[in-house]
Copies of this chain bind each other. A is one copy, B any other.
Amino acid sequence: MSIVASADIAAAAARLAGRVVRTPVLSSDRLSEDLGFVVLLKAENLQHTGSFKARGAQNALLARAERGELPSGVATFSAGNHAAAAAFAGRALGLPVVVCMPPGAVEVKVAAVRRYGGEVVVTEDLVGTCQALAADRGYTLLHPFDDLDVIAGAGTVGAELVADTGPVDLVLVPVGGGGLISGVAAAVKQASPATRVVGIEPATANAVTHGRRHGALVPLPTRPRSIADGLTAPYAGRHNLAHIDEYVDAVIEVPEDAIERAWWELLDTSKLLVEPSAAVGLAALRLHAFEADPGARVALILSGGNVAPTTLARLGTGI
């Protein structure tokens, strides 16, 4: 199994220059004072399309073009942020994109795909339909996370973090199918081996923990559900588990109520609207005794900001 090297991530960064937002690393006085760490926030909620996925999707298409594998179109599948990112990437390159989405997909996420000019096909059988569409049309099938170019694109989040802050003590990364943490861990560990990289997944959507026990691509026994809807991948990818085995110090789980509280706390203290998926790192900081000295520098990857309206409405209930 291949592992992306820092050279791959540097190449991705060069391809993405001008095509992604170099998102700021922000801090929160209140969080830092309260937690006793220097808390750094990599604000990918401010990224194009509202999540880090804009990096991997664009890098995947650009890298394929460089290798002479420029597709005539792209077929992909996602219920969430990758869907909009793939449509955005296709529009940027002038390629048609068809996205298979499940019947229950949130309406604003469907609308985002269409806003960027993507075609939506609603189907229960995401992968099967997507494969058939790719074969029929001669399109490339793009996996939303189990893809080395997608991983290298996600790695630019980690590379920017290290470049902007220098080595930090601990990086906490939201985990769904494993795309983001694969790239971030490769970038951070290759630049700073002493930095600990820890993945956080919802206890009710723990595909990576499940995959480490039962194997890559083995789906969870029941359909995962979480307020962190961006992390409800049904399985962990092969490339993703390889990167996690190589570079990630631990993957830990957090319960739903802690995610909700952390999401609210981030909004209140950092003034950033993130999606609940992006709050799992703070939830873990609140629940777990990380062995870090007072004053240690802890980076949270705020993976996205696309909040479902039904979730946003809960803000008013004063969680």
Are A271 and B272 in touch, CB under 8 angstroms? yes
Residues of chain B lying within 8 A (CB to CB) of residue A27 = 21
Q: Mark A82-126, 1 if CB is under 8 A from B, else 0.
A: 000000000000000000000000000000000000000000000
Question: From A29, which residue of chain B is reached at the shortest CB distance?
Answer: B48
Residues of chain B lying within 8 A (CB to CB) of residue A46 = 26, 270-271
Q: Give the size category of A's interface with B.
A: 20 to 34
Residues of chain B lying within 8 A (CB to CB) of residue A48 = 29
Quick check: is A309 within 8 A (CB to CB) of the other chain? yes
Q: Determine the main DSSP class of A at the interface with B.
A: helix
Q: Mark A300-315, 1 if CB is under 8 A from B, else 0.
A: 0000010001001111
Quick check: is A207 within 8 A (CB to CB) of the other chain? no
Are A274 and B271 in touch, CB under 8 angstroms? yes
Question: From A313, which residue of chain B is reached at the shortest CB distance?
Answer: B316
Residues of chain B lying within 8 A (CB to CB) of residue A24 = 24, 26
Quick check: is A267 within 8 A (CB to CB) of the other chain? yes
Question: From A30, which residue of chain B is reached at the shortest CB distance?
Answer: B115
Scoring A46, A314, A315, A318 by chain B CB atoms within 10 A of each residue's CB, the highest score goes to A46
Q: Mark A276-319, 1 if CB is under 8 A from B, else 0.
A: 00000000000000000000000000000100010011111110
Are B316 and A271 in touch, CB under 8 angstroms? no
Q: Say whether, besides A48-B29, A316-B316, A267 and B273 are in contact (CB < 8 Å).
A: yes
Question: From A108, which residue of chain B is reached at the shortest CB distance?
Answer: B268
Quick check: is A45 within 8 A (CB to CB) of the other chain? yes
Q: How far is the CB of A260 from chain B (nearest CB, A)?
A: 14
Quick check: is A177 within 8 A (CB to CB) of the other chain? no
Quick check: is A174 within 8 A (CB to CB) of the other chain? no
Q: Say whether, besides A46-B271, A267-B273, A271-B46, A315 and B318 are in contact (CB < 8 Å).
A: no
Question: Which residues of A (2-39) have their CB < 8 Å from a CB of B?
Answer: 21, 24, 26-27, 29
Give the interface of A toward B (CB within 8 A): 21, 24, 26-27, 29, 45-46, 48-50, 267, 270-274, 305, 309, 312-318
Question: Could you list some 8 contacts between A and B, CB below 8 A?
Answer: A21-B27, A26-B46, A29-B49, A267-B273, A271-B273, A271-B305, A309-B318, A316-B316
**Which 4 residue pairs of A and B lie closest in terms of their CB atoms, listed nearest first?**
A316-B316, A271-B305, A45-B271, A271-B273
